[in-house]
Structures are given as structure tokens and as C-alpha cells.
Amino acid sequence: MKRAVVANGNEMVVEGAIDAGCRFFAGYPITPSSEVAEGMARKLPKLGGVFLQMEDEIASIACAIGGSLGGEKTMTASSGPGISLKQEGVGLACIAEIPLVIINAMRGGPSTGLPTRIAQSDIMQARWGTHGDHPAVALCPGSVAECYTETIRAFNIAEELRTPVYVLSDAFLAHLSTKVELPGKEELKIANRLRPTVKPEEYYPYDTRFGDIPPLADYFSGYRFHVTGLNHDKTGFPNIDPVLQESEEERLINKVLKRQEAISTYENYKLEDAQIVVVAYGSNASGAKEAVDAARESGIKVGLFRPITVWPFPSIPFQEVAASAKQIIVTEVNLGQIVYEIERIMLGGRAVTEIRNGNLIFDTRHPRSSAELSTVLQANGTPIRPNQILSQIKEVA
């Protein structure tokens, strides 16, 4: 049964986390994400869960990693400077393959930047923020309601893939209070990490006999194992054998790439006959939709491609759209991030479906796009107005 509530994005993140089964949160206050911590602080004790306000963001992600190994679904939330501080922890969760959800209510930057103002400037950080080769999954809710559903999906992906997952909301969504309709609880799909069934003496934390995402035991459950941020073998102990490390590094990334068709969700809006394609994501997509609607009214064949998952980017669906387009307009609340991915795809840069023995395996189904690319970018702390997008549509129509 559908549920109607009035809430903002931060509150919906909290609801989503709780409904996904998150019972452990560690964070540090920062605008505009603080209400996520406050919401978790209200809810978790009632549910017998753990809420910790740690001494900083580094401690917060480290603590959430510990809680996850302790068997809980865990989350941390932050913005701007706090997300920068978490980066080393993100890498630890990637290599040690520890499920974890990181909420980033994006704000203007760099540095302290524009704390209360909107930005979408952490898109590339979510992909490459921590050092070293690593997988990345980042979801970008486009509405307050999606703050709920995408947070649940983030937990599901984190659990199923044993990897950290970002939810990238922004200052606008975080604080936008609106009426939202949520799916009924009975409709929710909730995933839990695979736990081992073998005898403890036969258990290894990175044992690919059980697939490319090995089961993960909880600490103190009788399976004693070792976890390290060093490159390791199936037993979890340090190992520098180049042959093994090549396949392990590739496995880490491939576990995401091989599932990108399922993970990389997107929305096609009025694209059937579109010659102009607007690309927008997150809260910025609602303004883009308005612009598309207005342009349609004046007879312009325009539509919107909205990635909901930004990493891995839904390249194949975008290629399909781009192939027949004449004009592509990328709009984002930053000075150019996703546009680089878009341009790469348009120039024939294909989706990578796998990394095999040092070779990128490309999806070769789709041709390059001969469309022209233009942008509507802005990083002044205010949302991009539908009119700005509309005039660009008219400009290229």
C-alpha cells in the first residue's frame, strides 16, 4: 500500500535506511547533511540500534566499517569537506570488500565553499576520490521520494556486492520539504549480504569458489578471519603475487562492471522522437524536465536522459539515445563533470563491460554519436533555472 508523507530529502534518506535494515550509523555534523544524523539519532535508539557521533568524519567511516564487520548494515553521512576526509576509509571498504552506505548531500566547494548552497560537484570524487584502482557505485536521487528508494537500493547493492555505495543528494533535495508518495513496505525488496555456510575451518573471506562476491562472515560468529587494507589473497592475508593481484584487482572492479545493466538505472523522458537530448541528473533534472515540457509546447523535439545511477554510468542506454540525436545538452550544477563522460561516449568511447588480463573489454554494439554537444553549467550556489536550459534548447533547435 502506497504511503503519502511530507518530508525533505534528508528525512527520506533516514526512512530509507531504516526500512533497508540499517541499525548502525556513525557520523559527524555538517551542513547540509546534518538532519540525516539527527534523524538516525532519533530512530536508532528506539530500534535498539547504534548511533554514534564520532570525533570526525575519518572516525565515522572507520567506525561504520567496524560495525559492518560486526554484522550490521551501516551508514555514514556527510557533505563537502567531510566527504573529502572520508576518502581513505572508502578505499579500505573497497579493498576489504565491506558493505557500507555513504550519504553525500553535495554542497558548493572546494573547501568550506558554499555550505548551505546546492552543487553537484562531487560526481568525479565519487568515482575517483580515494587513491588506487577501485570500484565505484554512486546513485543520484532526482527527487525527495527517490532519496528514499535510492537509499534502499544503495543498501541492497552494498550488501549484494560487498562494496561501499554512495548516495549523492544535494543541498536542495536535502532541505526541500514536499509531499511524497512512497512505495508500500510490502513492495520493498531488501537484500542481505551472503554469509558463509561452510565449516569455519573451510571459510576464507575472499574465497571465489562461491562466485566473484564471496560470502562475508560476521565477526564473533565462529568464523575467525583476517581483514587488511593491504592487497591480499583469498585468506585475507597480505600477498603481492602479481598474477594473483592482477586478477584480484580486476575482480574488485568487474564485480560492479558485470552487473552494470542491473545497477545503472536511468530515466528516458520524452525521448522517442527527440532530436535534442538534455542530460541532467539529481535535483537539476526536475528543472530540465520543465524546460523539456516547455520546449515541447513550442514544437521542439526534445527529451531528457536522466542517469539515476551515475557510476557506473548507464553508457549503453545513453549511446542508444545519443546515436539518433542531433544535439546533446548536458546540464549540471558544477563546472563540468558528467559532461566529460558524455563526451567520451559520444566520441565512440564505449561502455567497459569488464577488465580482462589488463584489457578493457568494450561493448561494441553502439556507434559513435554525430550529435553536437553543448552545456548549461553553473556553480554559483543556486539551482539552474528551467529558463536557462530552455534557452539553450531553443538556441540549438
Partner 1 sequence: MSVEYENYLRMNKFPHYWCPGCGNGVVLKAFIQAVDELGWKNNDIGMVTGIGCSSRASGYVDFNTMHTIHGRALAVATGIKMSNPSKHVVVFAGDGDASAIGGNHLIHACRRNIDITLIIINNWIYGMTGGQYSPTTPTGTIATTMPYGNADPDFDLASLTIGAGATFVARSSVADPIILKNYIKKALTHKGFSVIDAFSNCHIQWGRKNKFGDPVKLVEHIKSVTVSAAKAKKMSPEELKNLFVTGVLYEDKDKKEYTESYFDMVKRAQSQTKGGR
- Residue 237 to residues 162, 228, 241, Cα–Cα distance (Å): 18, 7, 12
Closer CB to partner 1, residue 212 or residue 218? 218
* Among 35, 72, 150, 250, contact with partner 1 (rule: CB under 8 A): 72
Residue 385 one-letter amino acid: R
* Minimum CB–partner distance for residue 244 and partner 1 (Å): 17
**If you search the block for the grid coordinates 564487520, which residue do you land on?**
69
Closer CB to partner 1, residue 75 or residue 278? 75
Residue 219 touches partner 1, criterion: CB under 8 A = yes
**Each residue of 41-73: b (16+ CB within 10 Å) or e?**
eebbeeeebbbbebeebbbbbbbbbebbbebbb
8 Å CB contact between 348 and 368: yes
Question: What is the pattern of x (binds partner 1, CB under 8 A) and - over residues 222-261?
Answer: x-xxxxxxx------xx-----------------------
Residue 69 touches partner 1, criterion: CB under 8 A = yes
Residue 389 touches partner 1, criterion: CB under 8 A = no
* Minimum CB–partner distance for residue 141 and partner 1 (Å): 22
Residues 14 to 33 in contact with partner 1, rule: CB under 8 A: 24, 26
Residue 67 touches partner 1, criterion: CB under 8 A = yes
* Minimum CB–partner distance for residue 196 and partner 1 (Å): 14
Name the residue among 75, 174, 200 with its Cα closest to residue 118.
174
Tell me if the bond preceding 314 is cis, omega within 30° of 0: no
8 Å CB contact between 208 and 194: no
Question: Could you tell me how far CA 259 lies from the centroid of its own chain?
Answer: 14
8 Å CB contact between 328 and 303: no
Residues 314 to 343 in contact with partner 1, rule: CB under 8 A: none
Residue 131 touches partner 1, criterion: CB under 8 A = no
Residue 348 touches partner 1, criterion: CB under 8 A = no
Bridge partners (DSSP) of residue 18 are: none
* Minimum CB–partner distance for residue 23 and partner 1 (Å): 9
Residue 64 touches partner 1, criterion: CB under 8 A = yes
Number of residues that bind partner 1 (CB under 8 A): 42
Residue 199 touches partner 1, criterion: CB under 8 A = no
Residue 83 touches partner 1, criterion: CB under 8 A = no
Q: What are phi and psi of 187, to 5 degrees?
A: -85, -15
Residue 45 touches partner 1, criterion: CB under 8 A = yes
Which residues are CB-neighbours of 66 under 8 A, at least 6 positions away? none
Which residues are CB-neighbours of 199 under 8 A, at least 6 positions away? none
Residue 381 touches partner 1, criterion: CB under 8 A = no
* Minimum CB–partner distance for residue 64 and partner 1 (Å): 6
Closer CB to partner 1, residue 40 or residue 154? 40
Residue 54 touches partner 1, criterion: CB under 8 A = yes
Angle between helices 386-396 and 284-297 (to 10 degrees): 50
Q: Which residues make up the interface to partner 1 (CB under 8 A)?
A: 24, 26, 42-43, 45-46, 48, 50, 52, 54-56, 58-60, 62-72, 74, 88-89, 92, 219-220, 222, 224-230, 237-238
